[in-house]
Structure 1
């Protein structure tokens, strides 16, 4: 009996899903119980790349489940799915505030009829590769249930509170370094240069990292009320602005110098002390009981003089068309000149940029080979990429103009 016919006779019957995760790959196998025998239906796996390799093991297991739900959507929508796992994935997904990506995955999986059950004895030799969901040296990490990776001696962990403010009267930044033993270090910075609120927030964050390093702090937990900083450090947001990218790069360089680091986004109401410190010019100092050290910065922590090198004079297929539309010059060869004149009817030049006309669509910007390679990689594997096939990638490129 063919597989579609077999599945049609079992519509609505629950299916079983096993997950596995390693340092560089995740996967899942879908099975159906038929006369007390588990029959494999589908096997999916994918190789992790980029930041995905730095996910915790629990996050990798959830990623395997999300990937299986996307690839096997027809099975997930037509059958209840029993996920057999030795770890409490349900508890992790019920607390999506631990990570932004977990919140998105929990919403995506919420539309499916998924039930999490403990992993018992396997019924088939085909599951031999799935007896161990995660490597043995990573099992302890999964049993911690997504808690921040901190050293066992909690007294050595320092908490960093930072805040920055910018107004027409000036800009300021402040930080507080506190540990569980009661030690506290308070610091304020007067920014003697024009800056935005986000830049002031980053100045406070970078100053906190530098001071923590000078104090010999090894294990640091940052608590910031800036969703931008928390999102960019965790990889959920992209730094599109040049100055923001510089701040992010310098922050990551400092973070790598700590043995362990974690950043948490908190409400502004939980960061009142640092918020008051950042507004030194307008704050009543009677609120503070400790000595406050104030520093004056006359220039940003990162260089704002960014130079973008653009190569000019490189010829491409667009060069003859640009020359003809801008100055009317055509190639010396008659055949080439005739081709250019004929093709020019479907192109137009706006502000030095070449576009192709469509009868029932927007103008399409023409790109050379280098830009084409970048655009395809960005659509395929960039921050918004879905790792789609060539046909879907081209469709997205065309829709983007």
Structure 2
């Protein structure tokens, strides 16, 4: 009400508010701030540091993000030696266990710029990651790239725990590709490297006649598809093929029908990134991808498989046999 004295609240209009009791317990407080309906989609932010992992589960209301629950865990023993991607996976599994009722009754969207889903479901993932992936399989979880954070309090929370991670994410990812071929088949090698030490290696055997240039394009397309699947937004691509790099740049004219088709496919994939740059490098700087592509050419008559790599520090004759 507006009077000559001042602006006052109309008691008749605010009676319901005046009659509300102050929350007396944590549960009553949560009922006021975050009591999501079963049909609501909830969003999860993950954060890691050298000493702890944390998460915030939020709900969206009228374009605002409001925290539902915060979870944190102090890292113990071997957990401190986990890679950043393993720490993120740990944060997710700890949160799912702590907030099981929320995960059972809601779809949860995990917002992260790391290829968390891809890493956890790789055939060569560690036993720990595979176990966590199976445990999370009962929930309706979706992974999306992290965009601008709307809630300022949430932004402050994330920055507090992920100063190093935010710096890493701005650095982008590096993709090395290489292709090889012989008279009857070809091979494609892909090495995807993340700013936090994550590496993904893929070998593809091309069981069809392919020229060396076609094999180079096959490797590039495979690498771009892998990066998109992992949710990567910024990508620097390195290839030792001068023809591929120059055709993408537009310096070389593309005439052959197959090359035109490959080039079109590559450009179609590149525009789906926020930033994607292709550069030519000497073969001496592309040794790992080149070795992977040659391995793809050599493997014949085998199915897709997992290969175990053993690092031996000493000759076998110097080792003591243990039974």
Could you state the TM-score of these two structures normalised by the residue count of structure 1? 0.37
**Larger of the two Rg values belongs to structure:** 1
- Bigger RCO (CA 8 Å, 6+ sep): 2
